Amino acid sequence: MTNCPKRISPLRSAGVWTMVLGSVHIATTGMFYPASVRSIIKAGVVSSVDADPALAERRGVGFWYFTSGLLLIGLGATVRERERAHGRPPRSTAAILGLTGLWGITLSPASGFWLFLPIAWLAHTARRRASQ
């Protein structure tokens, strides 16, 4: 008899929702940081963020917002792969997402960091369900 892991549906998947959050980051960079995106494009993209020290901060905010979206997609894909293989996310997922959310909320309460908390809860409950 094979011990097959329980399947986590995409709607209850911390990995899927983390990838969605990352995709939203990438898709909304131009909306939230239009001056940053325009400045990077005007500078020719390659080596543009630090090319002009006077514009590094303006360019950097859009760069890091976009880059965090890429990292969220990578984290989400890794978590989803683990959910499929083992029926639960990695043990650290809930803590990492929850602490990141709380850190962001503490420094910027009017931000989207609140979205990390329900994803952390999904990871926590998926691990709890898998152990039952």
Handedness of CA 43, 26, 80, 118 (dihedral sign): positive
Nearby residues of 39 by Cβ (< 8 Å), 6 or more positions away: 48, 55, 58, 59, 62
**Per-residue pLDDT reduced to its tens digit, 75-126:** 999 999 999 999 889 989 999 999 999 999 999 999 999 999 999 999 999 8
Q: What is the pTM of this model?
A: 0.88
Compute the radius of gyration of the chain from its Cα atoms.
Answer: 18
